[in-house]
Chain A
Amino acid sequence: MENQTDRSKQNLAFRIAAVAVLTALTTVCTMIIRVPVTPTRGYINLADVAIFFTALTFGPFTALAAGGLGTALADILGGYAQWAPITFFAHGIQGMAIGMIFRASGVDSRGRMILALILSFIAATVIMAGIYFVTGGLMYGFGAAATEIPGNILQNAAGVIVGFPLYLAVKKAYPPISAYRW
């Protein structure tokens, strides 16, 4: 199984299949799986969890494509189409940054892993919240756009807190996944 995956991971068909399935997974995590924070303050979706998982498991470029496309599709299907182009860049670059940080740091020791987690959380938050703030500010004013920053930070925190254990759990339960990275 592992040899077969190693061979096929290089080809175009495998890449298309991986990006397509992970895009669909990201859309489902964004649109369907929602966790209410409190009865009045809305909910957090698990888009960032899916992006974090994709970046760690499949690498930065899959995270760029699947994270960007998956969340943008969720916006289009959910009726928030005006956000789709912004979401594509915000979450796509966020996924790529997380993947690149983990690729550069290597996660051999616990210390480096924690450092990579902290760095990826900071980078992902700055990129995602920053893009939303700037574009939101241009669309409807920086005052109103600033009110969305805490929600975006919370969303990213959920991505790290749930996404990393998810990566470890899936890796343990389904070892062939380690060979899927490119």
Chain B
Amino acid sequence: MIDTLYRPGHSAVHSFDCRLKLFLLPLLLIYFFLPLSLPAAGLYTACFAVLILIYLGFRDLLIPLKMIFPLLILITLITPLFHRTGTVLISAGDFTLLTGRGLDETIRYLARFSGISFLFFLFFRSTAMDDILLGLSWYRLPYTLTLVISIALRYIPHLAGLYGQIKAAHALRCSIEDDLPRSRGIGKIRNLFPVLVSLVIQSVKTIPVLTMALELKGIGRSNPRSQSRTLITPESVRIQIFSSLLLIALLITNLILFSSIK
């Protein structure tokens, strides 16, 4: 099986209805790009960090941070150089390294990017891929698209395993007496090429077989034989809808009160 971000659990975030999460996700994402004041933007990002900390634990908070860490350093180093107006805070001779505006912008970008990463991590960590697909179907995403994604998810581990087998089989072709092939740069790609050709051919050969299997299932007929599982509605769905509406109202109020546009 493929190792997805999702980890099962019984927290409030886990039990939150997937359809509500899918509704809130784009709204919460757009909110990062709205003109909030710097403390409000920082607080908004901190909310997601706190949510991860409370519901998923400290280790899970480090996972997205670890992944975006190099980019955060890059933002810190480069952004001040592009915003050089305002009060000079650090300079080397005539060259301005950091200004008040540069610092503001850097913190804003750091908060925004970390916040977006936390938001997506929280969503995919607490929602199973099957539920996401069912939720998207509920929002009238075409059945064929969800079917493609679910078949692809089943095929990824198969093809990954096939790649390992082909690689091992190709490695056996080189005898002990042979010179070892170059394994840097272009040499590495050259060594990989026969493996890639075999993998692609094997993958493509499965298409007619899969087509027949889908036809047997009734795909493309007017009376398909397959049926999707029903998404279970949690008992507390009314509270969840109410809290979602409350959250939206809170965010709008926050935007009105703490907008950076004067």
Contact A16 B67 (CB under 8 A): no
**Among B152, B155, B204, which residue has its beta carbon within 8 angstroms of that of A170?**
B204
Specify the chain A residue showing the minimal Cβ separation from B63: A79
Give the number of chain B interface residues (Cβ < 8 Å). 64
Residues 118 to 148 of chain B near chain A (Cβ within 8 Å): 119-121, 123-124, 144, 147-148
Set of chain B residues within 8 Å of A17, measured between Cβ atoms: 151, 207-208, 210-211, 214
Segment from B72-80, B233-241, B249-257 that makes contact with A: B72-80
Set of chain A residues within 8 Å of B192, measured between Cβ atoms: 33, 35
Give the number of chain A interface residues (Cβ < 8 Å). 58
Distance in Å from the Cβ of B104 to the closest Cβ of chain A? 12
Q: By DSSP majority rule, is chain A's interface helix, strand, loop, or mixed?
A: helix
Contact A49 B149 (CB under 8 A): no
**Among B63, B79, B155, B193, which residue has its beta carbon within 8 angstroms of that of A143?**
B79
Contact A174 B163 (CB under 8 A): no
Contact A144 B152 (CB under 8 A): no
A134 within 8 A of B: no
A11 within 8 A of B: yes
Distance in Å from the Cβ of A149 to the closest Cβ of chain B? 13
Contact B155 A20 (CB under 8 A): yes
Q: Given A35-B189, A35-B192, A166-B193, is A25 in contact with B159 using a C-beta cutoff of 8 Å?
A: yes
Query: What would 18 A/B residue contacts be, using CB atoms closer than 8 Å?
Result: A13-B214, A16-B214, A17-B207, A21-B151, A21-B155, A24-B153, A35-B189, A73-B153, A79-B67, A81-B5, A82-B116, A82-B121, A138-B33, A141-B79, A144-B78, A158-B189, A169-B197, A177-B204
